[in-house]
Amino acid sequence: MSLTFSFHSPILKLPRRHIPIKKSFFIFYAIPSYFCNFRSYPILDNDEKNNDSQLIATLSSILRGKKSWNLALNHPLISSNLKPRHIEMVLLQSLDDPRLALRFFNFLGLHKNFNHSTFSFCILIHSLLQSNLYWPASSLLQTLLLRGLDPRHVFEVLLDSFRACRFSSSLGFDLLIQNYVHNQRVFDGVMVFRLMREFNLMPETKSLSYLLNALLRIKKFDEVLMLFDELVSANVRPDVYIHTAVIRSLCELKNFSKAKEMIERIEYNEFELSIVMYNVLIHGLCKSQKIGEAVEIKNGLVQKGLKPDVITYCTLALGLCRVKEFEFGAEILKEMIELGYIPSEAALSGVVDGLSRKGRNGDALHLVNKAREIGAVPNLFVYNALINSLCKEGKFDEADLLFKQMGENGLCANHITYSILIDSLCRRGKLDDALHLVNKAQELGAVPNLFVYNALINSLCKEGKFDEADLLFKQMGENGLCVNHITYSILIDSLCRRGKLDAAISLLDKMIEAGIEVTVYPYNSLINGHCKLGNLEEAEFFFTEIIDKGLTPTVVTYTSLISGYCDEGKLHKAYRLYNEMTRKGISPNTHTFTTIISGLCRVNMVAEAIRLFDEMKEQNVMPNEVTYNCMIEGHCKQGNTVRAFELLGEMVEKGLVPDTYTYRPLISGLCSTGRVSEAKEFIDSLHKGHHKLNELCYGALLHGYCKEGRLQDALNASREMVERGIDMDLVCYAILVDGTMREHDRKALFCILKEMHNHGMRPDDVMYTNMIDRHSKVGNLKEAVGLWDIMVAEGCTPNVVTYTALINGLCKAGFMDKAELLCKEILCTDNTPNHVTYGCFLDQLTREGNMEQAAQLHDALLNGFLASAVSYNILIRGYCKLGKFEEATELLHGMTENSIFPDCITYSTIMFEHCKRGNLKEAIKLWHAMLNKGLKPDKLAYNFLIHGCCIAGELGKAYELRDDMMRREMTLTRVTQNTLIHGAELSRNPNRPVTGV
């Protein structure tokens, strides 16, 4: 199927570019042998050519007409004769309207499973670019590249289509280069550039810059220089980005003489100069400890009309730190401070740290004060970094001295300062020293001691040192410190995270009894703790208490409750809370949106999830990895892998890192839509890119192969999985076992079970149940019973599903007495027969026509509250089969009395029998009754009634139903189509016998 989207977003918006087509451009004798000169088509005779011309003309008329494309293309003369070459010609005739052409192209691929040719892709790409439709063109090209075509072949067809379109803009080739680069196929992009040169084409300078910088990112510095030489020989005028890439490559290769020579050449030829180029050279020199040369470059900037910027100075300062020239680094920072530049935290902390290591704390403080004078923000950060460094070295006296100096200089230490000192002591197990430091802080009056205690308790709780935190909490009271709401909030949150909700509630009661002001935060912890355990009533109680106490719920409050509702599937309550918080002006955060989106996707409400996802971005709330993973999985469940891959590309573009939770649904989505080979290619590309995969990702692939009957491919994939370092788990083996059962490959099944045994694994109750069920369904009762005995012998206890699977097989085989004994055996275990178990008996009794016993059994099910719409449907089917319509109709009317509501199958079963006997009036009456109850008919219901209308000669009504079926976006089955055809023939020839459905 042809798709026009990929998971990568467009790389650049290309400027429109016109290249004059030289006359010699169409002389083909110089084309390399691996290219074709013209687009080749099969040789057609005159009749075929006429047919082709007529078909192309018809397609063009359909394209631009107002009729339904679906109906028009369903015409047998079109659907049976449509070939890629016809679409190519239609696209060439539609260059004036690329949007319409793209819609038609997408329609054929998505709705008709039409496999477009590469030439069609390329025509449309050129056409879209000609109309400045860069995004769809890029997306289309991405989809084409997913076919895994040879880059030379892609270029060849792109060139052929470029000539066929006769456009002057060659942006399609730029786009090809950029897509290869964006897909980490940089060398394919280089090859395209070289092929373009052979055909007198030249990419945009921006594309060349993009290509060079891509080579630079993968550290192919020699290739950067080689490609630059080719650009120069082709008379391309490099821009500042190309020059910067070349200079960076030379610096990485430590060829500084060439780098300097390059800059001199740039200056001589009056190219655009940029401070970035010189900063790159300075950085390279500093990295190689050529500080003198770097300083010389910096000093010569003014003569060139450039001013050193913050990066210039900070790079030099850090370079000087590397060579231990901290004093010189301090002078550089002083110079930039005098110019009004605020030094970076890295440069300032590097120099200060270096000076402090050399015992130059006075110089370090002097530098900090100088930075303060020009409004530098990181003063406290630098002091903290210095104190942290001293603490790590165990120089606590010096750290204490610096701490005092901060107060003398008017700098107020913050919680970070105290956390550094106390954390350092705590890590060394010096709790008394930490408390002593708290007392010193109290003497200075800089920060309340309680805040420091709270920070320490919080740190201990986060590290899981709960006993130490409790001890410190007790010691606070002993030392005369009054705990506040923060202290209690920290401890309550710690208890809630550990699931000790009773203890947390007790602590909250103590807090209230002590007269301490209660804030919303401990309630947030309690609500979150109860929601995680599924205690929504308790969570709602505390939410109500928040309101009653006049506290204002926060985004955390609402998000915790929303998460709890979503986990329980109560999305209407989650939405109510979401709307309530937004009405109150509380802005939802990433976690809020992600929670609801996840809940919506779990129940397949993807359209609502998309709306919320868009709303999230409109409110400038950034989605995280979890958000994207939820959306990707939601789209994959609905079979929309195109959008799922687009989201993957968007996710990567935003700098988010995909993981196995991202890849698994994509792999599963491809497999569920019949694209298992593409799923395998995707896994291989991830493996080559060193992306981490797990057994869940491979399990999805194995399931896809087995579902398509490709057992050998599944076995090969499982071996490859192990070779790549991922062990097979029980689920993977279960998938393979199920696959062998589907294919009736007993040899492969034996090998898999033996392999499991060799790895110390045994089938669990799920695997045994599946194997027993498979054998039972095909009548292999001997094998099913044998597996049952092995299961029991290995100590694996059968559950109600296992019993039901075997009972079903016995019932179908006519061994009702043995099935009944097995059902009684269930009652002797901890299991209880369910409605499915009894349904097996009910189904067999009705098939045998034993309706009296079936009715008695159903009455028993009603008394035991096990009856359902399914059990009623089975009984109704049995009565209908015997022609007992009164009993079937009586059952239909009696369902609602037992609080069981008929479904579409219930009505369809009786309608089918009425239609078979020509009683169309009763069938239509049931049809309307079904619609009035809000039930949506399925394909079978439509098919039954259409068939009945045709038998009764109501052809108009049949076509009316057909049209209604299409309005409901249901595809017509062959049976429905044949029924209508038979009905039309019957109207012309009443004596012709009518075949059944």
Tell me what pLDDT residue 648 has. Answer: 93
Local confidence band at 471 (pLDDT 50, 70, 90 cut-offs)? confident
Write the pLDDT tens digit of every residue in 863-875.
Answer: 887 888 888 888 8
Identify the sign of the CA torsion 218, 223, 225, 227. Answer: negative
Q: Is residue 8 predicted with pLDDT exceeding 50?
A: no
Tokens at 765, concatenated: 């109750």
Identify the sign of the CA torsion 94, 95, 99, 101. Answer: positive
Tell me what pLDDT residue 768 has. Answer: 85
Tell me what pLDDT residue 13 has. Answer: 42
Local confidence band at 23 (pLDDT 50, 70, 90 cut-offs)? very low
Cα–Cα distance, 816 to 821 (Å, whole number)? 9
Tell me what pLDDT residue 940 has. Answer: 83
Q: Calculate the alpha carbon distances from 313 to 205, 304, 325, 465 in Å.
A: 31, 17, 14, 45
| Whether 155 contacts 117, CB under 8 Å | no
| Whether 383 contacts 420, CB under 8 Å | no
Q: Report, as an integer, the average pLDDT of 934-962.
A: 84
Local confidence band at 596 (pLDDT 50, 70, 90 cut-offs)? very high
Tell me what pLDDT residue 46 has. Answer: 67
Nearest alpha carbon to residue 829 among 786, 865, 800 = 800
Q: Calculate the alpha carbon distances from 123 to 127, 157, 258, 266, 857 in Å.
A: 6, 9, 44, 40, 67
Cα–Cα distance, 372 to 360 (Å, whole number)? 19
Coil, strand or helix: which one is 778? coil
Torsion of the alpha carbons at 987, 990, 996 and 997, rounded to the nearest 10: 0
Neighbours of 186 (CB within 10 A): 23
Nearest alpha carbon to residue 96 among 123, 72, 114 = 123
Average pLDDT in the chain: 82
**E strand or H helix at 16, and its extent?**
none
- Counting residues of the chain whose pLDDT is more than 70, the rounded percentage is 87
Residues in the chain: 997
Write the pLDDT tens digit of every residue in 48-60.
Answer: 677 778 888 888 8
Q: Report, as an integer, the average pLDDT of 131-137.
A: 90
Q: Report, as an integer, the average pLDDT of 215-220.
A: 89
Write the pLDDT tens digit of every residue in 238-264.
Answer: 888 888 899 889 888 888 888 888 888
Write the pLDDT tens digit of every residue in 143-196.
Answer: 998 988 999 999 999 999 898 888 878 898 989 999 999 888 989 999 999 999
Neighbours of 477 (CB within 10 A): 10
Cα–Cα distance, 528 to 536 (Å, whole number)? 10
Tell me what pLDDT residue 478 has. Answer: 65
Tell me what pLDDT residue 444 has. Answer: 54
Crossing angle for the helix pair 765-777 and 781-793, to the nearest 10 degrees: 170
Of the candidate ranges 239-243, 438-442, 742-746, the one whose mean pLDDT is the lowest: 438-442
Tokens at 174, concatenated: 């730029």
Neighbours of 805 (CB within 10 A): 25
Residue with tokens 């094998």: 783
- Counting residues of the chain whose pLDDT is more than 90, the rounded percentage is 19
- Secondary structure E strands in 218-348: none
Cα–Cα distance, 894 to 885 (Å, whole number)? 14
Cα–Cα distance, 314 to 336 (Å, whole number)? 9
Q: Is residue 504 predicted with pLDDT exceeding 60?
A: yes
Local confidence band at 635 (pLDDT 50, 70, 90 cut-offs)? very high
Write the pLDDT tens digit of every residue in 755-781.
Answer: 888 888 888 888 888 888 888 888 888
| Whether 635 contacts 669, CB under 8 Å | yes
Nearest alpha carbon to residue 326 among 318, 336, 334 = 318
Local confidence band at 396 (pLDDT 50, 70, 90 cut-offs)? confident
φ, ψ (nearest 5 deg) of residue 152: -65, -40
Q: Report, as an integer, the average pLDDT of 434-457.
A: 61
Cα–Cα distance, 933 to 940 (Å, whole number)? 18
Cα–Cα distance, 124 to 141 (Å, whole number)? 9
Write the pLDDT tens digit of every residue in 344-355.
Answer: 777 877 887 777
| Whether 179 contacts 141, CB under 8 Å | yes
Q: Is residue 739 predicted with pLDDT exceeding 50?
A: yes
Environment class of 687 (CB within 10 Å of its CB; exposed 0-12, middle 13-18, buried 19+): middle
Task: Tell me which of 31 and 150 has the higher pLDDT.
Answer: 150
Nearest alpha carbon to residue 171 among 210, 128, 213, 212 = 128
Task: Tell me which of 382 and 28 has the higher pLDDT.
Answer: 382
Tell me what pLDDT residue 608 has. Answer: 92
Local confidence band at 994 (pLDDT 50, 70, 90 cut-offs)? very low
Of the candidate ranges 411-420, 678-687, 967-976, the one whose mean pLDDT is the lowest: 411-420
Tell me what pLDDT residue 629 has. Answer: 93
Write the pLDDT tens digit of every residue in 705-732.
Answer: 998 889 899 899 999 999 989 899 899 9
Tokens at 558, concatenated: 């609402």
DSSP labels for 197-233?
HHTT----HHHHHHHHHHHHHTT-HHHHHHHHHHHHH
Cα–Cα distance, 383 to 364 (Å, whole number)? 9
Task: Tell me which of 756 and 270 has the higher pLDDT.
Answer: 756
Tell me what pLDDT residue 25 has. Answer: 29
Tokens at 923, concatenated: 């069938």
Q: Is residue 2 predicted with pLDDT exceeding 60?
A: no
Identify the sign of the CA torsion 653, 657, 660, 665. Answer: negative
Local confidence band at 11 (pLDDT 50, 70, 90 cut-offs)? very low
Question: Which long-range contacts does 658-663 make (Cβ < 8 Å, 24+ apart)?
Answer: 658/625, 658/628, 658/691, 659/625, 659/629, 659/692, 660/692, 660/693, 660/694, 660/696, 660/697, 661/625, 661/626, 661/629, 662/625, 662/628, 662/629, 662/632, 663/691, 663/693, 663/697
| Whether 413 contacts 407, CB under 8 Å | yes
